[in-house]
A and B are shown apart, each in its own frame.
Chain A
């Protein structure tokens, strides 16, 4: 090996060691473990404790994830101002990604640290569906505050964001298909990977990993309130396109003209029930031996990849209003499924980086062995390589696992409403009022979080 290559490898070892030190806790820690205490507190209804625990992570946590999770906690707590403040901060970071996405193709997914250490060194940019859910969450928060005009601004930025993501992914797909000719990695190439967890039949039913029917239905609901049927109709229509077999979604579009013409003072309220359940799925890190073929040389390189566990079945919920079970679709959005689809879509990039990273670590170890006869440096590099090899398990974990919708026209006044999900139920007396009303319900474990708002 020539001196120049030695020198560069030596420098790389230096960079690697520095990056290990700088990447520090974040590159080595498991996000699921970090967030465990927070999610446990949410499951037991201790939101203040959850916020306190999450606040302690502020210094070490990735900024985007910190804002996303903290916003969710404040939202559940009913502190909408604080939730908005945090989610707007998250939105600023996503807008930074959007600026790059408008210009680039696959480049923004690359990060030097991810090739040297692991994917967790990569700045967390959020999954595409999380970016879309973020502006949807902001719109929903404005609605809960009774500010429909601001909700319109937020939901409009959701459409714009979807368009940016679509363009970016299309350009990226084109790039990947060109690379296909050379050779790209697929999840099926990995021996020992739980392929079945990322290959559920429902995955192919999703049009893509980022669009969700709830965001579009909510857009329809917001534009409808503002008497903008030309914008409301495509919202309901897109929701149907994304989840075709749901009567609630079809009724949204079919009844639009009639609802728009309905007088304000007819004594009825158009009640939209949003029901969310569970937490988005967590990932685990598994070690894979990947086959690296380079210039005829075959090498087995160990690296870590993220995976999901088996899908857990959630109970079929129902909503009973004044003694009658209303038309209700529990899985308008299946975030569990969208998470799996996102991971599957990203897998070729993850594997490529993993193989590249492992090859580089093997090279650095060989160079260190050759430079230092005692083998101490080589052992240290090997140890660091093993310790730092861990898959990126980060995601917006406090999002619900699924979102359901129901809609019913009700007489104004007090009504008894009951939610049932498996053995758990929650009933309450609700004063139904206004031309439109939004009733939000979130079940996490045994806890039920309820919010409501009326619109004139």
Chain B
């Protein structure tokens, strides 16, 4: 009996080892489908934040007035311990707003170096038609700046993990310092 059990265990291990040889296939998924692979901030959260914030901004007084305000985008501060690329959030919001045509965006701090480099290249180069080159000193200053933050509260017990994210965005009028628009959205994910 004693020996038989060991023999069976070893046989089971051999079977398990063979099972491990199986591989999985690759398939395409819906980019906007609900992703629940892990509890970390993921594509579904990104879409949710971008869509809700864009919808909110599109009905705000800032946009409804119809004068296509000039906005510059600043960083959304990541105040969590998770590696969340918040530029993906602001990029999505900017794309949606730009697509709607109700606001315009000017070069932000991140892209400024490339903008200046391109201006310099056109000015310094002898290869361009002087009538078509972009003049220096014609860039428009933004009237508003978009910024925000993402925070999280993480609670964990031996078998449950609860993560709460709060994303807050604001649009400030640069000249006056007035807060023109602000909204927030929250996400709660539980893994058990």
Query: Which residues of A come within 8 Å of B, CB atoms?
Result: 1, 5, 8-9, 12, 99-100, 103-104, 107-108, 110-112, 115-116, 156, 159, 163, 167, 174, 219, 227-231, 233-235, 237-238, 241, 294-295, 297, 356, 359-360, 363, 366-367
Contact = CB atoms under 8 A, between A and B. Distances in A.
Contacts of A5: 3-4, 7
Nearest to B110: A227
Nearest to B17: A112
Contact of A241 (B16, B23, B81): B81
B20 to A, nearest CB: 6
Contacts of A363: 2-3, 6
Contacts of A99: 23
B160 to A, nearest CB: 12
Nearest to B150: A230
Residue of B6, B7, B78, B81 with most chain A CB atoms under a 10 A cut-off:
B6
Given A107-B20, A235-B83, 6 more contacts: A110-B13, A115-B9, A228-B85, A230-B78, A233-B78, A366-B3
A234 B82 contact: yes
A295 B10 CA distance: 18
Interface in B1-57: 1-7, 9-10, 13-14, 16-17, 19-20, 23-24, 38, 40
A interface secondary structure, majority: helix
B80 interface: yes
Contacts of B1: 295
Contacts of B3: 1, 5, 9, 363, 366-367
B81 A237 contact: yes
B81 A295 contact: no
A111 B16 CA distance: 9
A108 B78 contact: no
Given A230-B78, A231-B78, A294 B17 contact: no
B77 interface: yes
Given A104-B20, A234-B83, A229 B2 contact: no
A360 B83 contact: no
Interface in B72-102: 75-87
The contact size tier of chain B is 20 to 34
Contacts of B24: 103
Given A12-B7, A241-B81, A228 B16 contact: no
A234 B78 contact: yes
Interface of B: 1-7, 9-10, 13-14, 16-17, 19-20, 23-24, 38, 40, 75-87, 110, 159
Contacts of A167: 38
Residue of B76, B78, B85 with most chain A CB atoms under a 10 A cut-off:
B78
B83 A159 contact: yes
B10 A163 contact: no
A230 B40 CA distance: 15
A11 B158 CA distance: 44
A69 to B, nearest CB: 27
B77 A108 contact: no
A228 B87 contact: yes
A123 to B, nearest CB: 11
Given A163-B40, A229-B77, A9 B7 contact: yes
Contacts of A229: 75, 77-78
B85 A360 contact: no
Contacts of A103: 24
A104 B133 CA distance: 61
B20 A8 contact: no
